[in-house]
């Protein structure tokens, strides 16, 4: 993992929420196949791994789990040791927010992650849907008919999960933002647009804005 890719990604020694996303030049957060990987690349994935490396929890929505089908959350022996040296669990805990509990329960992430995934749903979820949650997961039911972000964060803190990476999708990130619960945004601007590749030519920032210029690679 390059130093440039993970520079500045250390976690504060206090509760902290990082929103993590990749977005391309059209504003899309996924490619034509509905997955973020098709607008991502090696450098962006290094940033994602850098955020995850010392996080306590990775929070995603149900649609993101259905589209991306997350792999089991595990760490190499070297990274486990690095986490243990900081008093952390051997891997981050996967947290999935889902109103209807309509998830691909046969996905390995639910059965092979280092820590039991935490499935968070609303009280309106039916008993039949709740019963479908695998025993390898923990089910957490919100007191109301929706999962409120402040309640969710408090519930994670109660479990010692204070370094929270929210990886989306867009609806969940919007709920976190609407609740003013995001401390930091980690955003990759991707020059991958369909079959075209655009290369950044200049970047500058002023006040709350970042100004960029991209040129099509084959026009250089």
Domain count of the fold of the chain = 2
**Whether residue 121 is found in the same domain as residue 201:** no
Half-sphere exposure of 14 (CA within 13 A, CB side): 1
Query: Would you tell me how many other CB atoms lie within 10 Å of the CB of residue 22?
Result: 24
Question: For residue 33, what are its two tokens?
Answer: 């196949």
**Whether residue 150 is found in the same domain as residue 166:** yes
Does residue 154 lie in a domain region? yes
Name the β-bridge partners of 119: 96, 139
Half-sphere exposure of 191 (CA within 13 A, CB side): 14
Domain of residue 215 covers: 196-220
**Whether residue 163 is found in the same domain as residue 218:** no
Residue pLDDT tens, the chain, 220 long: 444 445 579 999 999 999 999 999 999 999 999 899 999 999 999 999 999 999 999 999 999 999 998 999 999 999 999 999 999 999 999 999 999 999 999 999 999 999 999 999 999 999 999 999 999 999 999 999 999 999 999 999 999 999 999 999 999 999 999 999 999 999 999 999 999 999 999 999 999 999 999 999 998 7
């Amino acid at each position: 993992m390059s130093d440039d890719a993970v520079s500045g990604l250390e976690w504060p020694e206090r509760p902290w929420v990082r929103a993590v996303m990749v977005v391309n030049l059209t504003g899309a957060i996924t490619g034509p196949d509905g997955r973020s990987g098709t607008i991502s690349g090696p450098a962006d994935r290094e940033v994602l791994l850098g955020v995850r490396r010392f996080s306590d929890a990775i929070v995603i929505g149900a649609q993101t789990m259905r589209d991306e089908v997350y792999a089991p959350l595990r760490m190499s022996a070297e990274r486990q040791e690095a986490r243990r040296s900081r008093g952390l669990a051997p891997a981050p805990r996967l947290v999935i927010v889902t109103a209807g509990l309509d998830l691909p329960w046969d996905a390995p992430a639910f059965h092979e992650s280092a820590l039991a995934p935490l499935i968070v749903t609303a009280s309106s979820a039916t008993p039949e849907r709740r019963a479908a949650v695998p025993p390898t997961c923990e089910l957490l039911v919100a007191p109301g008919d929706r999962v409120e972000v402040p309640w969710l964060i408090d519930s994670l803190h109660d479990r010692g999960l204070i370094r929270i990476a929210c990886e989306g999708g867009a609806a969940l990130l919007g709920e976190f933002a609407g609740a003013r619960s995001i401390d930091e945004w980690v955003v990759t601007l991707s020059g991958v647009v369909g079959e075209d590749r655009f290369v950044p030519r200049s970047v500058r920032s002023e006040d709350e804005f970042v100004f960029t210029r991209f040129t099509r690679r084959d026009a250089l």
